[in-house]
Copies of this chain bind each other. A is one copy, B any other.
Amino acid sequence: MLRSALRARHLLVTRVPIVRALNRLPIQKPFPSHYARRYTHTWGSENIHYGSFPERTHNCGALNKKETGKLVTLCGWVPAVRSISNDLLFIPLRDAYGTTQLVFRSEACSNAEAANALRSKINSLTPESVVCIQGVVRERPEGMRNKDLASGDIEVELQEVMCLNTAATNLPFLPGKQKLPKEEVRMKHRYLDLRRPELQQNIRLRSKVASIIRNYLTEHQFVEVETPVLFKSTPEGAREYVVPTRNHGQFYALPQSPQQHKQMLMAAGIDRYYQIARCFRDEDLRADRQPEFTQIDLEMSFIKASDIQNIIEGMVTEIWKNALDIQLDKSRFPHITYQHAMSKYGSDKPDVRFGMHIHDISKHLPGASEDGVLECMVVKKGANLKTAEIRSVAQEYESQNGDLSKLNSVKVNENNIGSWLEKCSLSKRSSDVKTAQNSLNSQLEIEQGDLVYIHKRSKYLYGGNTPLGKVRLQMSKLLQDASLLHIDPSDYKFLWVESFPLFTPDEAGLRTWQATHHPFTAPFPEDLALLESDPSKVRGQHYDLVLNGMEIGGGSIRIHYPEMQRFIFDKVLELQPHEYQRFDHLLEALAGGCPPHGGIALGFDRLMSIICGTPSIRDVIAFPKAGGGKDLVVNSPSELTPAQLAEYGLQLTKK
């Protein structure tokens, strides 16, 4: 696809009428005389050409054998000059579209003087300087061709070089070099780092995927609507950025998502809304979070969850086809309930690229599991891991408030294959260990060389992980590092996780319940009667799209009845009236005749990071923030002057 885009680009550029198809051009000064006018000033430089320059006839990815003999004008960057001899220099000229080999041959110049002048110009070019050149396309000699390069069959024999801008000689690094400085330096000089082909490709692919998404959604009758970035502050908005105004004491806040506005758009009858929306979250910047991020946000009216899921599956299929040349189909989007995901994988976003299932073995060891669930996880080949590695996993478990008496692990070998279960302290309270041992060995296909975990968890599942689920992920990492498990990086396993509990015990312990996702998620209709009688059992119409163990999107059918929304605020979540008054506009919109609706949001940065196969989302963002939310390019955040603060009616507190 990229290649075809380049071809299209090529067609565009060659429409320019300068190109003349001559077989062997006379050696000439190809630039018209008015380009030769030079300006020297106090600020000027001898080596640079100021003013207008010839139009490029091609880009550096466009030339091939067919152009042989043509006089062409190219523009681009000179990474380095490779000097073979005084009479032969090579320059790999680079632009946004590719690289073309330029060659200086003194024998191709009209005379020695001309050759000296051109050579001297070339040699004065610092790495990363910008030039406009003219020359004649030549086929490369057999054996000198570069099959990795689109323009690898040709070279351009230089006739003239015009330096459009000299690069400083003290550049912090050169983007073409293999050995790059640490990320902080590269982020500060992002304009250099972005010249690297890897980042160029990521940024271009991001643009292409955005275009695929927009065209797909437009074809499906979605209306793009821009929602406000200057939004409203909420007293509990612990993660929001606020924006002071010149009205004393009055603040906007930046939105964490367009949630309320898109619901109001449904009340407004927009029917199908989308936006690739910038969102903001003021939080300690963990490894891969950005204070501003982009989400693919959509909402539909008069639909059910499967309608939204179908739209998203179609969109993802379109992206994978066009960006990765991979054809997905409906079977690639299986559904799993939260209960199933949590009990089988110990995670609400299971990585199903590998097995390592968690099994409920309570019934095998009746005495041992009475106040909880006894789980067993078989780590194939896990006995090959170092004892220290296995111990570190247990330590991690303990450090997260795990009770080590509830986690047993045994390396299975030829000696203990028939007795490993007896060694697990958790099994001791059961009388029937021997029978259990045999049936587990056969049912779970336990072999010598496996590592077996037995774990006892509480019956009630909530949150994003079970303790054994975390062990599972750590084991997968250790196995991969030890080459005991291989996960194909181009294997994409999607999963819809559904039927989440609508409410989760309140973490803060102030109230009984908190909304598992957000308070606008609609309950399952079948569970409506439980809203009053047993909120713990109410399932929410929430769905997460999970890819390779990462949540790439989440959405829900929303509550559209004002009475139900108010009941949940008031009776279930036990909010005080002043706490839900900040949703008055939303309640009013529901009461104004709001249709049934639902939607979803996908994290665009994360999605692109997966598609580009980058270790960090920073690699798919043109100007990302570094740790602590710092913008190293412009050196931000930064101080305000007292006068600026005063304009906003603010002063700093003492530190």
Contacts and interface: CB of A to CB of B under 8 A. Distances in A.
A474 interface: no
Given A168-B592, A561-B48, A232 B636 contact: yes
A580 interface: no
A532 interface: yes
Interface stretch (A149-157, A240-248, A345-353, A408-416): A240-248
A221 B649 CA distance: 47
Interface string A615-655: 00000011101001101011111111100101011111101
A447 interface: no
Contacts of A219: 8
A591 interface: yes
B96 A588 contact: no
Contacts of A56: 302
B165 A50 contact: no
A233 B638 contact: yes
A129 interface: yes
B247 A244 contact: no
A371 to B, nearest CB: 34
Nearest to A126: B593
Given A223-B203, A592-B192, A595-B165, A251 B637 contact: yes
Contacts of A211: 214-215, 218, 224
A232 B625 CA distance: 12
A227 B592 CA distance: 38
A652 B652 contact: no
Contacts of A195: 268-269
A250 B224 CA distance: 35
A419 to B, nearest CB: 54
A33 to B, nearest CB: 14
A53 B563 CA distance: 19
Nearest to A632: B585
Nearest to A595: B130
Given A8-B221, A245-B629, A525-B52, A75 B595 contact: yes
Interface string A191-229: 111110000100110110011001100111101111111
A12 interface: yes
A390 interface: no
A235 B644 contact: yes
A116 to B, nearest CB: 25
A219 B4 CA distance: 12
Contacts of A629: 230, 245, 247
Interface string A277-317: 01010100000000110100000011010000000000000
Interface stretch (A37-45, A327-335, A456-464, A503-511): A37-45
Nearest to A293: B226
Which of A231, A268, A282 is most buried by chain B, counting CB atoms within 10 A of its CB?
A268
A646 B651 CA distance: 11
A453 interface: no
Contacts of A563: 43-45
Contacts of A247: 628-629, 637
A592 B301 CA distance: 51
Contacts of A294: 226
A167 B592 CA distance: 5
Nearest to A225: B622
A594 interface: yes
A190 interface: yes
Interface in A124-174: 128-130, 132, 164-168, 171
A303 to B, nearest CB: 8
Nearest to A639: B249
Given A165-B560, A593-B77, A292 B229 contact: yes
A189 B95 contact: no
A525 B51 contact: yes
A129 B359 CA distance: 50
How many monomers of this protein are in the complex?
A: 2
Contacts of A652: 248-249, 649-651
Contacts of A644: 233, 235, 237, 242
A97 interface: yes
Given A191-B264, A191-B267, A235-B641, A223 B207 contact: yes
Contacts of A302: 56, 75, 132
B228 A631 contact: yes
A592 B128 contact: yes
A9 interface: yes
A567 interface: yes
Contact of A651 (B204, B218, B650): B650
Contacts of A639: 249-251
Which of A252, A272, A641, A649 is most buried by chain B, counting CB atoms within 10 A of its CB?
A252
Given A251-B637, A292-B228, A594 B165 contact: yes
Contact of A221 (B12, B225, B301): B12
Interface string A35-71: 0000101111100101111011000000000000000
Interface of A: 5, 8-9, 12, 39, 41-45, 48, 50-53, 55-56, 75, 77, 94-97, 128-130, 132, 164-168, 171, 189-195, 200, 203-204, 206-207, 210-211, 214-215, 218-221, 223-233, 235, 237, 241-254, 260-261, 264-265, 267-272, 278, 280, 282, 291-292, 294, 301-302, 304, 525, 528-529, 531-532, 560-564, 566-567, 571, 585, 588-596, 621-623, 625, 628-629, 631, 633-641, 644, 646, 648-653, 655
Given A164-B595, A253-B636, 12 more contacts: A52-B525, A189-B588, A192-B268, A204-B223, A210-B224, A226-B294, A228-B623, A230-B625, A233-B644, A247-B628, A268-B622, A651-B652
25 contacts: A41-B531, A43-B563, A43-B564, A75-B595, A94-B269, A97-B271, A129-B593, A164-B596, A167-B592, A194-B269, A195-B269, A227-B622, A229-B280, A230-B280, A243-B254, A245-B282, A245-B637, A247-B628, A248-B653, A249-B639, A250-B637, A251-B638, A252-B631, A585-B635, A650-B651
